[in-house]
Amino acid sequence: MRTEETIRDRIEALQDEYDKHDPPSTELEDEAEVAILRAIEELEWVLDEREAEDGFTT
């Protein structure tokens, strides 16, 4: 499993890539934008889930 730092670095890289193509000027860039936004959303969800698990005690 990846570390939180690795995931956060990936989110930052994806956001930088997103910013380079905003607003999208071609259909390919538009599709890439959707893929990047989905990846960011999924990575943020993973981090939220991990934080929720870390707070759980047995």
Residue 14 · residue 36 · CB < 8 Å: yes
Query: Which residue numbers in the chain have pLDDT < 70?
Result: 1, 21-22, 54-58
* Domain range enclosing 42: 4-51
Q: What is the pLDDT of residue 1?
A: 64
Q: What is the pLDDT of residue 21?
A: 66
56: in domain = no
33: in domain = yes
- What is the number of structural domains in the chain? 1
Q: What is the pLDDT of residues 33-47, one digit of tens each?
A: 888 888 888 888 888
36: in domain = yes
Q: What is the pLDDT of residue 6?
A: 85
Record the pTM: 0.55
58: in domain = no
Q: How far apart are CA 54 and CA 56, in angstroms?
A: 6
